[in-house]
Amino acid sequence: MFQPFTEEHEHFRKTVRDFAEKELAPHADEWEEAEIFPDEVFRRAGELGILGAHYPEDKGGSGGDYWYSVVKAQELPRCNMAGTVMGLLVQSDMATPVIGDIGTPEQVEEFLKPALAGERIAALGVTEPGAGSDVAGIRTIAKKDGDDYILNGSKTYITNGTRASFVTLLAKTRPEAGAHGCSFFLVPTDRPGYAVSRKLKKLGNWSSDTAELFLEDVRIPKRYLLGEEDQAFMYLMQNFQTERLIACVSTLAGCDIALQDAVTWARDRSVFGKPLIKREYWQQKLVDLYTQVEAGKALTDRCVDRYNHEKYVLKQPLSFETVKLVSMAKCFVSELASGVMDQCLQIHGGAGYMDEYRISRAWRDQRLVRVGGGTTETLRYYIAKLMGF
């Protein structure tokens, strides 16, 4: 049988589970209402080694493989706040992997290590008001000026955006080349001309902060260019797979919790003198939902196994086959989650529509998965190209 988790993984699992259930979950209602969680959560996660478990020791991590990140994403949803999970995963699996992959030793020291320790908060700045899944449409420009770059533009829907100390930001350095004229920069948020335009209100994921950013003549030194100039599209496509894969894992973990809640409710709730769980319709529906989640886990595990082997064993860029499979998993799991959460809410009846029940929160939170990290429609188009259609 496929058993990727060692005893060390399971020790780490207990650490993350205790953190989620004992230190985060008791504050769920409070942080959801505040629409932000405390900065201290990043520092605490860093102290426990949760943020950097799957990074090499020389990059500020614990030297584990990618299955440590899977454990983290499986257990954090126990905090009952998808927004808080998202904020932490942006820190460890979306805004920082590209620094670990291509950052200079100086960039690792200044940005990556403090981020993995929870001492600096990171955000990923890709999406713009006029460009989301189609990164070729971004309009933020970075122009050389001697030994510096000057950045002008805006970013939107940026998780951790109101409080990030730096942004891993995508900008065009050769606008005429479209997507192949983009570069990555590490942009400290204390630079003159950088501003948080506004904090955005969202349908779900309330406990995370989401911001619109504005850059006007923001000057950064050349040493903050991440990787090679004009090569960011290639880096971004690799980075996107990390984002999509970790989204699959955490989403499936959320589905497990929702199904457990639905079964508990169905056992306790009687309709016309009989528990819901004894009604044949709901028995069949729950069996189907559990089966679909298991199928999602199997596909995701296959993707993680390939990702872990290529990146951590072979230490090479992801193959087109792995990129295709990860994109397929993201499409499948995001669509699956919508159905699971909707049916779990339906089982709860009117109670499921009430905010006091966590299925209500889970239902609205999961909707982002079909949009974030590339919309399902864009991914299907991308997969078709990889398949030669």
Residues with Cβ within 8 Å of residue 310, at least 6 apart in sequence: 316, 317, 318, 319, 322
HSE toward the beta carbon, residue 364, CA cutoff 13 A:
18
Report the C-alpha gap between 389 and 380 in whole angstroms: 11
Active-site residue list: 243
> SS in 3 state form for 200-247?
CCCCCCCCCCEEEEEEEEEEEEHHHEECCCCCHHHHHHHHHHHHHHHH
> Which two tokens mark 98?
């590209």
> Which two tokens mark 174?
């050769």
> Which two tokens mark 128?
């713009």
> SS in 3 state form for 114-173?
HHHCCCCCEEEECCECCECCCHHHCCCEEEEECCEEEEEEEEEEEECCCCCCEEEEEEEC
